[in-house]
Structure 1
Amino acid sequence: MVEDNNRGNDSTKVYANKAAMDIEVPDTTHQISSDSWLQVAFVLTTGVNSAYVLGYSGSIMVPLGWVGGVVGLLFATVVSLYSNSLIAKLHEHGGVRHIRYRDLAGYIYGKRAYSLTWALQYINLFMINTGYIILAGSALKAFYVLFRNDDQMKLPYFIAIAGIACGIFAISIPHLSALGIWLGVSTILTTIYSVIAIVLSIKDGLRSPARDYSMPGESSSKVFSIIGSAASLVFAFNTGMVPEIQATIKQPVVKNMMKALYFQFSVGLVPFFLVVFTGYWAYGSSTGTYLLNNVTGPVWVKGIANISAFFQAVIALHIFASPMYEYLDTKFGIKGSSLIIKNLIFRIGVRGGYLTFNTFIAALLPFLGDFMSLTGAISTFPLTFILANHMYLMAKGDKLASTQKLLHWFHIVFFSIVSLAATVAAIRLIVVDSRTYHVFADV
């Protein structure tokens, strides 16, 4: 039997199919089933169109070129929508809502899968959160350099400022649904830096001579760069926390989540593709890992774009940190307004401590992109593609046609191979770059 997990705050037991061990699944102290599908769609879109998009012209298009980049992005769009929809459709599998990714995995496979999924998801989200702090710090430094280009302020200092800003925001916003108006603010900020990046890129592209679009590097390094960029494709479209986001949506949860996903992978991708493609078109293989460093134009315009990217990164980080916040708040029974003294002290200590560690790692390893490629290979690929397809097979196997089963198995095998290849490429990249970069580098 599966007990109703919407009663009070008592723990419930969800029994995994064909497993000998039961798994304790506590009710959440966070707000669930309160958001419209459109608000959830903007949560998803905020994650995709975050300030990370300013780096994809360099990290995806440059290694892959026009053909590989366009085909890769379109392929990643289709398979990401498909895989995320599989997870969304399993949200009420077995007659109970699975509001966490690990809950769903534990219900289908058992306790070991529950723990492994939580570990993979934690690593994935931790690295994304750390990357956001680096991104916010880089945007803040770019803003500073526009007005005062000296050696007084190094990147680690800006990363520390970004970490403080993220901590203040995390303490003030109790849970994912409480973002509310901040999603609107995020959309405005995204529009600002996207429009500025697009317009200035087009202006530069029209004035520039013919660009070089060849893929840089020797033949052997090209192969590893191409494989490594596959991890960036995964990061571009996937949150790794579909059940956690779906938990906030109103009934009917599956139907509404599908609406949100369709919005994310249609309207939500328009600014994404415009920024990525115009940036690469304008600068070719010389496109940097932060597009706003390539564009030329009025200082005040570039300043607005950079400061918008900074604040948007602070908001977006909160989305990807929310599973950890939910875990800690539920474990210690923290709920309600962030202004309650007990809650305020707890969030300052716990969330502040978590983000302090994120910030330290971000400052220590500001070339974290290499490690994020490794994270994408060992955690994002398994969570988003391999596990999603296999869980759907396990849950719906008897109801699927043979062609559908074959398609899921093809995805499992194909992405397992890609994950392995991307792991090797990412490790090689870390080894190569470790000879160039140093800890607390001002990159």
Structure 2
Amino acid sequence: MEIIVPSNKNHFGSEDENERYEEEIEKDNWIAINSSTRNAKWWYSAFHNVTAMVGAGVLCFPYSMTELGWGPGVTAITLSWIITLYTLWQMVEMHETIEGKRFDRYHELGQYAFGEKLGLWIVVPQQIMVIVGVDIVYMISGGSSLKKFHDLLTGENKHLKLTHFITIFASVHFALSQLPNFNSISGVSLAATIMSISYSTIAWAASVHKGVQPNVQYGYKSKNKVDTIFTFFSALGSIAFAYSGHNVVLEIQSAMPSTPQSPSKKPMWKGVIAAYVIVAFCYFPVAFIGYWIFGNSVDEIILVTLNKPTWLIAMANLFVVIHLVGSYQIYAMPVYDMMEVVLVKKLKFKPSWYLRFLARNTYVAFTMLVALSFPFFDGLLGFFGGFAFAPTTYFLPCIIWLVTQKPRRYGLSWFTNWVCIVLGVALMIVAAMGGLRKVIIDAKGYKFYS
């Protein structure tokens, strides 16, 4: 609903009260997620959701298949696509579950379901873990892809380490972090969507061109039963990591206009369907064709396995870098919003460019520092995918739906939500265990900033 500032300064009883009101409006319009930018179209939803979901994790799908095997792998990827589309629909529907009220942030929906304080404590820590975790992993994978691009074109330089490329990747975000809201990064997000389709297509098409490798094997690589079980768990977390758009979907929908005749959920859902078609086009061919062609010999990131033709694989790595630039900013926007709300609403700082510059660049610097310190890409995918992504993506929307919508007990909706909750909780436990074990193993003998 548009807010109109009254022209009569005595409307609020005094000039001071009117000035305070105008100051609050100024603060509301300054923060990242606000009511003054509700002019997005349905296609904004499409490419924002693709950018948020299709990340470098898709390039790990063939490797995850080696840890899962054909049956469990196909089941996990397909079932995750179905479950997360269902829970995403729930969140889109609940954005305006109360007439005249919009839940523009995930934690606002949580507060409505669980109460002001409890809802905040349930949602915010999980959402922050997801968003910060994604941005840290994207720092690592962005730097890794940039290094691969450099090495393919110029040859490996022993003086240039992964840490240097992570720093270069991070430097772009110090500038892009100053774009104020979702609408302002729509161009970056559109470019990221095009890049994600491009490098996914290159990954599976180049695999088909190579053909099934001689003596290809599909059995579990590890002969140790314990290792097989824990890598299986970690692979489930990597798949969960790839379905993470729920953590920014309400914030994306907040930019949509809405009227009683045409609520925001209509264009938003249209965009989500388009996004999920693109997600399927990216995920399924890369995972299944990559594993079919290379079997257990596939590398952690399939583009590493595809060394030829050099120019094409170099281009694919560059596309990954460009896509991750957009993905990082999509996930960072809710964090920027949280920081700005605290700074101007709670701590009473005056909105200004230098406040935004300091706050947002502090966040970028933090994620860069953690990425430089702990560049364990695959283990982090599994750990964050299980510990943080599974709750906010697979079963928290279902719990909120049961609390707020109160479907008939033992009905189809009630049963469906409980199945998602049980599967999501199980995923959270086992994937976090597998991912944490892999991080610990990868950390042995690692030298900081090497």
TM-score (norm 1): 0.86
Per the alignment, residue 264 of structure 2 pairs with 253
Please give the residue correspondences for 1:324-403 in structure 2 after superposition, counting only pairs within 5 Å: 324-333=335-344, 343-397=352-406, 402-403=411-412
Instruction: State the alpha-carbon separation in 1 of the partners of residues 285 and 180 from structure 2.
Output: 34
Q: Does 1:152 align with 2:159?
A: yes
Contact kept? 2:198, 2:316, Cα under 8 Å? yes
Judging changes above 3 Å, is the alpha-carbon distance between structure 1 residues 414 and 10 closer, same or farther for their aligned structure 2 residues?
farther
Q: Does 1:305 align with 2:316?
A: yes
Whether the 8 Å CA contact 1:29–1:330 is kept in 2: the answer is no
TM-superposed CA distance for 1:160, in Å, is: 0.8
In the alignment, structure 1 residue 139 sits paired with structure 2 residue 145: yes
Corresponding position of 2:194: 188
Moved over 6 A (4+): 7-12
Output the CA distance in 2 between the equivalents of 1:331 and 1:136.
30
For the residue of structure 1 that corresponds to 2:69, the secondary structure is helix
Correspondence for 2:91: 87
The alpha-carbon distance between structure 1 residues 348 and 405, as it changes in their structure 2 partners (threshold 3 A), is same
Relative to 1, partners in 2 of residues 1:250 and 1:399: Cα closer, same or farther, differing over 3 Å? farther
Contact 2:146 2:321 in 1 (8 A): yes
Q: Structure 1: any 5+ residue segments left out of the alignment?
A: 13-25, 335-341
Following superposition, the deviation at residue 259 of structure 1 comes to 1.5
Residues 420, 154 of structure 1: CA spacing in aligned structure 2 closer, same or farther, 3 A cutoff? same
Structural mapping, 1:95-106, within 5 Å: 95=99, 96-106=101-111
Q: Does residue 1:316 correspond to 2:327, yes or no? A: yes
Q: Report Cα offsets for 1:156-201 as digits up to 9, x if no partner.
A: 1111111111222222x22111123223322332343233323322
Counterpart of 2:45 in structure 1 is: 40
Residue in 2 that maps onto 1:17: none
The question of whether the paired residues in 2 share the 8 Å contact of 1:30 and 1:330 is answered with no
Answer with 245-254 or 349-358: which moved more: 245-254
How many residue pairs get aligned? The number is 415
Q: Which letter does structure 1 place at the counterpart of 2:42?
A: W
Counterpart selection for 2:184 from 178, 187, 200: 178
CA contact (8 A) 1:44 1:264 kept: yes
State the alpha-carbon separation in 2 of the partners of residues 182 and 417 from structure 1.
36
Task: Find out whether 1:70 has 2:74 as its counterpart.
Answer: yes
Partner of 1:223: 229
Q: Percent identity?
A: 24
- 1:129 corresponds to which residue? 135
CA distance in 2, matches of 1:318, 1:440: 25
Amino acid paired to 1:433: D
Are the counterparts in 2 of residues 362 and 368 from structure 1 also a CA contact under 8 Å? Answer: no
One of 220, 242, 246 as aligned partner of 2:249: 242
Alpha-carbon shift at residue 128 of structure 1 (Å)? 0.1
- Unaligned regions of 5+ residues in structure 2, if any? 6-21, 26-30, 346-350
For the 8 Å contact 1:204–1:296, the answer to whether it is kept is no
Q: In the superposition, relative to structure 1, how do residues 311 and 267 fare at CA in structure 2: closer, same or farther (>3 Å)?
A: closer
- The CA distance in 1 between the partners of 2:331 and 2:257, in whole Å, is 20
Specify whether residues 366 and 406 from structure 1 end up closer, same or farther in structure 2 by C-alpha distance, changes over 3 A only.
same
Root-mean-square deviation (CA), in Å?
Answer: 2.5
